[in-house]
Amino acid sequence: MDFELSQDHKVLRDSVRDFVEKEIKPIARRIDEEHMIPDELVAKMGQMGLLGSYLPEEYGGAGMDMLSYAIVVEEVSRACGSSGVLISAHTSLCSGPIYSFGSEAQKRKWLPALNSGQIIGCFLLTEPDAGSDCGAISTSFTRDGDHYVITGSKIFITNGGYRGTGVLFATSDKNLKHKGISAFIVDLTSPGVEILKNEQKLGIRGSYTTAFALDQVRVPAENLLGREGEGFKIAMDTLNGGRIGIASQALGIAQGAFERALAYSKERKQFGAPICDLQAIQFKLADMYARIETSRLITYKAAWLKAAGRSYILESALCKMMASEAATFVTKEALQIHGGYGYICDYEVERMFRDAKITEIYEGTNEVQRVIISKLLLG
């Protein structure tokens, strides 16, 4: 067993880290305050290849493995959780299923623009009455000649505000439950696609969370992803992979907050000595580090299993659950170590504290992760 990153992974990590230090970290606070990731930054991330890390070179990706993808999302999220989730949702929820389930023609048509970042992707599954119970979606599709016609509504769509490419789920008959669901590749500039709003949120404020109304949206029949009725399977498989991305995002947020807390505990003096001399602070640091490091091990293992073509469903649920809980714990303790200053925006840990919470909720709540894990354990 080798727990050391390969030289190629180290080169990748250091390159992304340098990029993030110079291009993202200095503007992370502004991204949060203005609720917007600057278009120039999205373009730069595209030029760096951060938006197509694990997709093959023949479709304009970088051709790296899942571990590289996890490293990219972690390093970016270390400075900015909003930018981290942009990459994660774009890559594993849009390009990912098109690559895994798309026809050769679909891959050639959609992936190059996604991998270069020219178009930003999203995943349209959740509806007002279908969250964790995603088999209950009611957005419907009917066939009309060489088109499908889709009507309904979608909410909480990460990256939706870019109106790029979406992998959208709809049902032919709600009574069929998950068996009636199909997946479509949709150009979100199509007539009938309306953005109702981009939500105001507790955290990851730079990331779009969008509500859509879909009114008789005509989608060419060739945009059906997989076969009719395969949508639920595609959604579940996609989310299994996506959890590695969210675990990496959570890990990055936790790591960023931990580094700030560690540094601050050495600088801040009270009672005539740095507060890191106090055992109360030392124990916090030990607990924070323990959760980050154990989450990282299971996240990297899940990425390794997926790349090796092995079953990784349990590990991806586990890493998402552990890393997100590490993130909320670590950011809370990082804020506490900063004391009153932690509550002030200038110190940035308050942003990380707010950004962390969503990782326990999206891509399957942690309660859903526990259902997945226990089901697999009980067979």
Partner 1 sequence: MKILVCIKQVPDMESRFKPDSAGVWFSETDLAFRMNEYDEYAVEQAVRLKEQLGGEPELTVLSIGPDRVVEAMKKALAMGCDRGVQVQDPSPHLKDPFQIASIIAAYAKDQQFDLVFTGLQSQDRGSAQVGVTVAELLNFACASTIIKFEYADGIVTVKRELEGGVKGIVKLKTPAVVTCQLGLNVPRYPTLPNIMKAKKKEILVIPVGDLLHEQPLAQTATFYAPAKKGTGVVLEGDVADQAERLIAILKEKTAVLR
Distance of alpha carbon 17 from alpha carbon 14, whole angstroms: 5
What is the nearest approach in angstroms of partner 1 to the Cβ of residue 125?
A: 28
Contact between 186 and 165 under an 8 Å Cβ cutoff? The reply is yes
Total residues found in the chain within this entry: 379
What is the nearest approach in angstroms of partner 1 to the Cβ of residue 63?
A: 5
- Minimum CB distance to partner 1 smaller for 8 or for 33: 8
Residues in contact with partner 1 by CB under 8 A are 7-8, 10-12, 14-15, 18-19, 47-50, 52-53, 57, 62-64, 68, 72
Which structure tokens are listed for 240? 């299994």
Distance of alpha carbon 350 from alpha carbon 252, whole angstroms: 15
- Give the residue from 57, 54, 124, 63 showing the smallest Cα distance to 88: 54
What is the nearest approach in angstroms of partner 1 to the Cβ of residue 6?
A: 9
Distance of alpha carbon 181 from alpha carbon 242, whole angstroms: 20
CA atoms within 13 A on the CB side of 353: 17
What is the nearest approach in angstroms of partner 1 to the Cβ of residue 221?
A: 34
What is the nearest approach in angstroms of partner 1 to the Cβ of residue 106?
A: 22
- Minimum CB distance to partner 1 smaller for 248 or for 369: 248
- Minimum CB distance to partner 1 smaller for 44 or for 147: 44
- Give the residue from 315, 265, 308, 311 showing the smallest Cα distance to 288: 265
- Minimum CB distance to partner 1 smaller for 263 or for 297: 263
- Minimum CB distance to partner 1 smaller for 53 or for 82: 53
Which structure tokens are listed for 98? 């098109």
Q: List the catalytic residue out of 267, 350, 363, 367.
A: 363
Contact between 135 and 178 under an 8 Å Cβ cutoff? The reply is yes
Active site residue 40: no
Contact between 117 and 97 under an 8 Å Cβ cutoff? The reply is no
Q: Which residues are catalytic?
A: 363
